[in-house]
């Protein structure tokens, strides 16, 4: 996988996370869910890595606990990078 593909994958995961909502799927059990509107090859790669789950027929995906953790770290990294460059 090229470096550019890795960056695109990270950004898609971050966008999925930033626009996600918590959905109750069973008593006391919630998942992070997000609408999917991104390139299927990127979504397939995120699925293989265990960051999201869901079928191609569904209009949304579930962001796994691992995906939420990775996206949270990406968000902090992006915010820190933006702050260090004076971007507001």
- Neighbouring CB atoms inside 10 A of 13's CB total 25
Beta bridge partners of 53: 62
* pLDDT at residue number 32: 94
* pLDDT at residue number 78: 85
Whether the pLDDT of residue 33 is over 90: the answer is yes
* pLDDT at residue number 51: 96
Distance CA 52, CA 32 (A): 9
Per-residue pLDDT band at 85 (split at 50, 70, 90): low
Domain residue ranges in the chain: 3-78
Distance CA 67, CA 88 (A): 26
Whether the pLDDT of residue 30 is over 70: the answer is yes
Per-residue pLDDT band at 86 (split at 50, 70, 90): low
Distance CA 35, CA 59 (A): 6
Please, how many CA atoms are within 13 Å of residue 30, restricted to the half-sphere of its CB? 7
What fold, for 3-78? Arc Repressor Mutant, subunit A (1.10.10)
> For residue range 58-72, what is the model confidence (pLDDT) as tens digits?
899 999 999 999 999
């Amino acid at each position: 996988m090229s470096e550019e593909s890795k960056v695109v994958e990270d950004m898609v995961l971050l966008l999925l996370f930033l626009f996600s909502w918590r959905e109750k799927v069973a008593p006391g059990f919630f998942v992070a869910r997000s609408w999917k509107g991104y390139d299927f090859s990127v979504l397939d790669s995120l699925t293989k890595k265990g960051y999201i789950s869901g079928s191609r027929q569904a209009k949304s995906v579930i962001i796994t606990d691992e995906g939420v953790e990775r996206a949270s770290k990406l968000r902090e990294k992006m915010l820190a990078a933006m702050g260090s460059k004076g971007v507001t």
